[in-house]
Amino acid sequence: MPLLDRIRSPHDLRRLPRDELPRLAEEVRERLIDVVSAVGGHFAPGLGVVELTIALHYVFDTPRDRIVWDVGHQGYPHKILTGRNDALPTLRQKGGLSGFLRREESEYDVFGAGHAATSISAALGIATARDLKGEDYQVVAVIGDGALTCGLAYEGLNNAGHTERDLIVVLNDNKMSISPNVGAIHRYLTRVRTNPLYNRIREEIKQLLHRAPAFGSLGELVETLAVRLDESLLNIFVPGMLFEELGFRYVGPVDGHDLGALLDTLASVRDLRGPRLVHVLTRKGKGYPLAEENPVLWHGANPFDKRSGQMERKKDGLPAYTSVFGKGLVELGAARPDLVVITAAMPGGTGTGAFGEAFPDRYFDVGIAEAHAVTFAAGLAAEGLRPVAAIYSTFLQRAYDSIVHDVAIQNLPVIFALDRAGLVGNDGPTHMGLYDIAYLLAVPNMTVAAPKDGAELLALLRLAVERAPGPFAIRYPRDNVPAPVPPLAEIPEVEYGTWEVLREGTDLAILAVGTMVLPALAAARSLEAAGVRATVVNCRFLKPFDEATLARILERHAALLTVEEGTIVNGFGAALAGRLAAERDRHPDLRLDLLGVPDRIIEHASRAEQLAEVGLTPDGIAARALALLGITAGRIRETA
C-alpha cells in the first residue's frame, strides 16, 4: 500500500497533496477489509467513514484539535491513520487493540466510549475546559444518526447551543442504527437529505441579499431587512432548522464520500465560531458491496472470506441463548395476546426481531433509548399488558432511574430480559454485563433470576409472563446454551422463588448462579475425586432467596461458597453474606467465601479467556472450595 505505508500519523497524512487522498481512501478501505475479514470486528460502520476520517485528520490539527468519536465502533480507519495500522490485526484480542477507542491506547483517542451518544456531552466538557484554561484548539464530536435517537444527545445539544461555545458536531448520517433507524428525528433527517433544493435556494438568496448596498441609512435599512428576511427565509428553507433553533449553525448536507466537498466544508466550518453542526451523508458498508446491500448483517462481522463474503460460524451447533430466548418469546406471544416486546435499537442483538415479524403490532423498537424503553414498558404494564423489555445488561445501566422510579415503586410487572449478562468477551470493558446483579438486587419488589441453561431460561420466561408478581429480571450470557433445548411444552415448570439442589454432599455447599451452575457441578466432581463431597445448588432466583432450601443447606453444611458471573461487589454472595451476618448467632462456625468477578476493569479477550482469568471455571471453583476448607493442593494429592 504505497500511500498508507508512508503514514505513521496524521502529520504524514497532512503532508499528502489533496489529490492523493482518494487513493489513500482506497488503501484504507482495503486494509480494513483485509483485517476484519481475517479477525472479525465492526465492519460496515468503519467502511462508511473512511473519507470522513481522512478529511477530519487532514483539516484539523490532531491531536491538538480533539476529535471525539461517538460509540467508537467506527474507529478502525482512525486507528489505521493514527499509528496503529501495524497492530490492527490484534483488534479485540487479549492484549491487542481495543475494538473501541481508549484514552490509554492513543493520544488521538480523546474520549473512550462504547455506549452511544456520549460524544456531544464529552466534547462540550472538553471545550469548556479549554476555555477555562485559556487554551485554543478545536473540538469536534462525530455522532451517528442512530445515536441521535438517544436522549443524552439532546441534553448535550441543548446545553451546547445555550452556551454558544466553540464546538463542532459532525452528524454522520447513514440512515442506519445497527438496524434501520427509527423515529421522528430519523424522518426529519430523511426529509432534509432528500431536499437538496433547500440548500441551493438558501445560498442563492443569501448571495442576493449580500449584494445589497451596505452604506448610508438606506444601506443600513436594507441590511436590517436583509437580516430579518434572511432569518425568516431560513425558517422556510434551511434544511437543518431543528439544529439552528437549538443554537447550532447548520451546514450541509454534504456527500461524505466526496473528499473534495468534505475538505472544503470542514475547512470553512473550522473557521466559523460558536456551536456548528455539519450534516454528512455516508453509506454504511461503503466499498464492500455485500455490506452496502446488507449493513445490518455486516455491522459487525465474524472472520469471513473476502471474495465470497462467507462468514465463519460457530462450530458446536448449539444455539445462542439469544436465539433460544427469541424463539421462546414468539411461542409465548402466540398464546398471550397481552404480551408486548420492547427493544432499544437491538432487534437482532436481543433476538426479538422474530417476535416483531410474527406480531408487528406488539413489537416496539424505540431507538437507542433504554430509559425511555423502560418507562414506556411501565406505561404498558400500568394498563395491564405484559411487557418484556429486552435490553443488554450493560445498556440497562442507562435506565436505572426508570427501573426504580417508574417500575419498582409502582410494582409493575415489567419483565427485563438481560442478554449479555456477565463477561462479554471481545467488546471489552464498556460492554461488560457485570453490574446488573448488584444494581437489581438493590431494587425493592424486583425478582432477579438466572437460568443454568436454555431450557431453564424458557421456563423462567414463561413463569415471568404468566405469573410475575411485579418486576422480574432474567439474566443470561453472551454464549451458546450448554445443551439442546426441548420444545417449550416439554419443559417442566419452575416454581417461583425455588432453588434446585443438584448434588448432595457434606463437606461444603456451592451456591451457584446461572452460568456458574454447570462449572460448579464439574468442580464438585473433581473435588469428589480428591475426597471432598460438595453439595451444588442452582440458585436460579437471586432474589428472593429460597428460604426453605437455604435453611436446609445451613443445617447440613459448615462451609458455603457462592459463585456468580458478576461483580463480587454487592452481588449474590454479598447479599447472602449480609443475610448470614444478621443470623451469626445461629451459625457461629459457618465459613463462607464468595467467588465472582473482582472489582477491577476486565479487558477485552475471548469470554473463555476472561472466565479463566477471574477463576470462574471448574478448576477455579474447586481451588476456592479447597481453600475454604483449609485444604492445600499438596494435601489433596496425598489424599487422592
Residues known to be catalytic = 284, 370, 398
Between CA 485 and CA 482 the distance in angstroms is 9
Mapped to the 3 state alphabet, what secondary structure does 144-160 carry?
ECCHHHCHHHHHHHHHH
- List Cβ neighbours of 570 (8 Å cut-off, separation of 6 or more): 437, 438, 441, 442
Q: Which residue lies nearer to ligand TPP by CB, 91 or 532?
A: 91
CB of 364 to ligand TPP, least distance (A): 15
CB of 254 to ligand TPP, least distance (A): 16
- List Cβ neighbours of 264 (8 Å cut-off, separation of 6 or more): none
CB of 118 to ligand TPP, least distance (A): 9
Footprint on this chain of ligand TPP (rule: CB under 6 A): 45, 71, 73-74, 115-116, 144-147, 174, 176-178, 284, 345, 368, 395, 398
CB of 170 to ligand TPP, least distance (A): 12
CB of 399 to ligand TPP, least distance (A): 10
Supply the angle between the helices 119-132 and 151-163 in degrees, to the nearest 10. Answer: 30
SS3 of residue 491 by DSSP: coil
One-letter identity of residue 213: P
- Lookup: cell for 449: 433470576
Q: Which residue lies nearer to ligand TPP by CB, 72 or 573?
A: 72
CB of 178 to ligand TPP, least distance (A): 5
**Longest C-alpha distance within the chain, in Å?**
105
In terms of Cβ atoms closer than 10 Å to its own Cβ (0-12, 13-18, 19+), residue 323 is: middle
Instruction: Tell me: cis bond preceding 253? Omega within 30 of 0 counts.
Output: yes
Alpha helices in 448-516 (DSSP H): 454-467
CA angle (292, 297, 301) in 5-degree steps: 100
Q: Which residue lies nearer to ligand TPP by CB, 71 or 460?
A: 71
CB of 377 to ligand TPP, least distance (A): 16
Q: Which residue lies nearer to ligand TPP by CB, 365 or 456?
A: 365
Q: Which residue lies nearer to ligand TPP by CB, 141 or 460?
A: 141
Q: Which residue lies nearer to ligand TPP by CB, 295 or 454?
A: 295
- Please spell the DSSP secondary structure of 539-590, one letter per residue: --EEES--HHHHHHHHHH-SEEEEEEEEESTTSHHHHHHHHHHHTGGG-TT-
Mapped to the 3 state alphabet, what secondary structure does 32-75 carry?
HHHHHHHHCEECHHHHHCHHHHHHHHHHCCCCCCEEEECCCCCC
Q: Which residue lies nearer to ligand TPP by CB, 69 or 108?
A: 69
- Lookup: cell for 260: 473534495
CB of 456 to ligand TPP, least distance (A): 27
CA distances from 521 to 115, 503, 524, 539 (A): 36, 8, 5, 13
Q: Which residue lies nearer to ligand TPP by CB, 430 or 538?
A: 430
- List Cβ neighbours of 153 (8 Å cut-off, separation of 6 or more): 117, 120, 143, 147
Q: Which residue lies nearer to ligand TPP by CB, 84 or 431?
A: 431
Q: Which residue lies nearer to ligand TPP by CB, 53 or 567?
A: 53
- Lookup: cell for 392: 443488554
CA angle (50, 313, 95) in 5-degree steps: 60
| Cell 443524552, residue located | 152
Between CA 389 and CA 612 the distance in angstroms is 31
Assess contact for 316 and 477: CB atoms under 8 A: no
CB of 638 to ligand TPP, least distance (A): 52
CB of 172 to ligand TPP, least distance (A): 6
CA angle (102, 105, 109) in 5-degree steps: 55
